[in-house]
A and B are shown apart, each in its own frame.
Chain A
Amino acid sequence: MRGAEVALEGVGLAYGSFWAVRGIDLDIRPGEFFSLLGPSGCGKTTILRLVSGFVEPSEGVIRIAGRDVRGVGPAARPTSLVFQNLALFPLMKVWENVAFGLEVRGVPKAERRRRAEELLELVALPGFADKRVDELSGGQRQRVAIARSLAVEPQVLLLDEPLSALDLKLRQHMRAELKAIQRRTGVTFVYITHDQGEALTMSDRVAVMSQGRIEQVGTPAEIYDAPATAFVASFVGESNPVPGRVRESGGGFVTLETALGPLRARDPRGLATGSPAILIVRPERCRLDGAGEADAVDNRVEGRIERVDFEGAFANLLVASPAGPGLVVQLANDGRLAGLAAGAPVTVRFPPEAALALPEGPLARE
């Protein structure tokens, strides 16, 4: 099996006057594990249905392996879809499920059976061929659904939040499993999820979506460390957004006038003086004064510990400031957490390099 590239050029889909997605440009590379990440209702499933051929775009072009697939139905596209609820055929045995695509293609029964067993081996389910679907656990069904989709040798496998029904432990195990299957087969995976953890751990690249548009495409590290918009910064990972106004800029940095006082941050977008902006700083990049070397250029915010949420390996401190929004500070459990209790006055510190100034924009609602 080999993966194919998927290209979307200016794709949009309208239901009446409502655009479910619009202006979608994507270039998914062959053999890539590509995730579409966004909150529910952002249009990511619509894109999956557009690529699989269940709906046709109202505008724009979709190419798979270089071929314009407009007007080509789901059966004829080199894609295969793993449904969110898996949609296994409950009245067929496991191997018949896996071999259904081959049955449709007129492959003789003995050959179908052989292929099904091979595929079950691939997804780590040897010896399950004659089981009934309702005898399987959630994780096993998951793998059967993937084997069934792989049986038709697709060049692109589309997965619609396939792990959402599993419990946490199994979900984490299946992440590694999925990634391994993708490596083994070399098929292009397009993976839909609203779970940033899934997207970041499995993907080669991620597209973050909001309200029918793509906010940013990049590697997991790029998405996390260099979010392009306030939405991406607030949707992916924890963040402290502080609204403000640009007082001065230059040399790749800006100083924002905020309710917490003047704060310096990186300025990748070249914000104009006087324009409204949002400062974003990750909780794990914040320190408490005295917990490290002092640096003259660090941003400092005075406050009082309002709450300590102990998580085991680390603790989240909510630091309230009389002047503005509270900041979350994440501290590793390195033996120095003991003295921190609610009510203690502290100074939150973070270097300008750790903060990012982005144009004002909507934030993700938790």
Chain B
Amino acid sequence: MSELFRRFGRPGGGSILATAALWALLLVVLPQLTMVELSFRPNLPAVARGGPEDVWTLANYTALWTNPLHRTIFWQTIWSSLLVTVLSLLVCYPVAYHLAQEARGDRALLLATALVIPFWVNEILRTFSWFLILSRNGLVNRVLLGLGLIEEPLALGGVGAVMIGMVYAYVLFMIFPLYNALESLDRNQIEAARDLGAPTWRIHWRIVIPHAKPGIAVGCVMTFMLAAGTFAVPQIMQSLPGGTNARWFTQIIYSYFFDGGDWNRGAAYAFALLALCLLFVAAMMRIFRVGLADIAK
């Protein structure tokens, strides 16, 4: 900050700061506040706004608990997002460890490239590729039919398919924080533990995982937030046969905003989801005993 004033003088530095502040205020703070405000008001036709019925109310929030379908989908979304996070961690940890500690030179480069290239394609197409794999005439069904293991194509849609799509869609958001953390681990520590007689699982449990904690926390937070907040993945994967039961809470929010025209309820639901996500971040930070600074890294 003082550097800014030193370089551009008081008026120059001041105006740069003011521009940034104005930007944040107009494009971040005010819209959010409007949404908060909306979430505490009833959804009224235009003529009734400002009238006697237009009062502060918690009705939009309590609706989430009184509507059993919404409540179920809310918890299902949270639960599935947790599963996606755990699944991603299980898939990514060995890959990240291999990449950071074992792969050497060209092999490491090749592996990293192979991981990154799919992410040049956007999320919708990446998800769609899994849609194709799991569809009625997709790869999985064809292989199973070809091997004679099934007579009829399986309906592979459902929560599981949505979760697979998500794990794939967000793999890099888990791998890179893990890789960053694991890469800084001194190989000698692993060898020292091995020399002292530790089996592989204990080396990971006592040396590698504690060292990678901040990376694990960051990866989990990112993956969970992305999973809980995604719209595209469930939207696409639901079109699989048998997939209609896999509704995501974000879809309900979407329909209140764009189909139902009830922004008030939509805003309330969105904040409920946000609150739970923040709770999750706080929980992760507690569990892994990491501070905001570690996560910001």
Q: Name A's B-contacting residues (CB within 8 A).
A: 52-54, 73-76, 79-81, 83-85, 87-89, 91-92, 100-101, 103-105, 148-149, 151-152
Contacts and interface: CB of A to CB of B under 8 A. Distances in A.
Nearest to A77: B195
Nearest to B207: A89
19 contacts: A52-B195, A53-B195, A54-B191, A74-B194, A74-B195, A75-B196, A79-B195, A81-B195, A84-B188, A88-B189, A91-B210, A100-B193, A100-B206, A104-B196, A104-B202, A148-B196, A151-B196, A152-B196, A152-B197
B211 interface: yes
Instruction: Give the one of B197, B206, B211 with max A CB within 10 A.
Output: B197
A81 B196 CA distance: 8
Interface class of chain A by DSSP = loop
A75 B194 contact: yes
A190 to B, nearest CB: 14
Given A80-B196, A85-B186, 11 more contacts: A74-B191, A74-B194, A74-B195, A75-B194, A75-B195, A80-B195, A83-B191, A87-B188, A87-B189, A101-B197, A103-B206
B198 interface: yes
Given A85-B186, A87-B188, A89-B207, A100 B195 contact: no
Contacts of A105: 197
A104 B200 CA distance: 11
B29 interface: no
A87 B192 contact: yes
A100 B197 CA distance: 9
A80 B197 CA distance: 9
B294 to A, nearest CB: 13
B195 A91 contact: no
B186 A87 contact: yes
Interface residues of B, number: 17
Interface in B8-24: none
Contacts of B210: 91
Contacts of A84: 188
A92 B211 CA distance: 11
A53 B196 CA distance: 12
A79 B210 CA distance: 27
A87 B188 CA distance: 6
Given A91-B211, A100-B206, A104-B202, A85 B188 contact: yes
A76 B11 CA distance: 70
A53 B194 CA distance: 10
A75 B186 contact: no
B81 to A, nearest CB: 29
B56 to A, nearest CB: 50
B101 to A, nearest CB: 14
Contact of A83 (B192, B199, B207, B211): B192
A73 B199 CA distance: 11
B191 to A, nearest CB: 6
Nearest to A49: B191
Contacts of B192: 81, 83, 87, 89, 148
Complex A-B, nearest 9 residue pairs according to Cβ-Cβ distance, in ascending order: A87-B188, A101-B196, A87-B192, A75-B197, A74-B195, A104-B198, A104-B197, A83-B188, A91-B210
A104 B211 CA distance: 18
A64 to B, nearest CB: 14
A302 B72 CA distance: 102
Contacts of B194: 73-75
